[in-house]
Amino acid sequence: MVQAYILIQTEVGRAAHVASEISGIEGVTQADDVTGPYDVVVRAQADDVDALGRLVVARIQRLDGIARTLTCPIVNI
């Protein structure tokens, strides 16, 4: 199991819409609107790094209003 934070920049005027849609995606455990350089912070989990990549590219990035995502896998050092 791999967990990650995904920091999302939305197109202008779309932040609220994006967070509520993402929270319904399987594997997503948190989705919050924030202010600052990012617009939405998501926490998600997947079976491995490849599945996490597919979750981001095939599910989250397909939503309308996403400008850019930055995936930060959680590590146990």
Write out the residues near a copy of itself by the rule CB under 8 A: 2-5, 7, 9, 12-13, 15-16, 32-38, 41, 49-50, 52-54, 56-58, 61-62, 66-77
Cβ 76 to a copy of itself shortest distance, Å:
5
Instruction: State the amino acid at position 39 in one-letter form.
Output: D
Q: In terms of CB distance, is 24 or 59 closer to a copy of itself?
A: 59
Least separation, in Å, of the C-beta of 28 and a copy of itself? 15
Among all chains, which residue has been given the structure tokens 């995936």? Answer: 71
* Contact status, residue 30 vs residue 43, Cβ threshold 8 Å: yes
Q: Report the distance separating Cα 14 and Cα 49, nearest Å.
A: 28
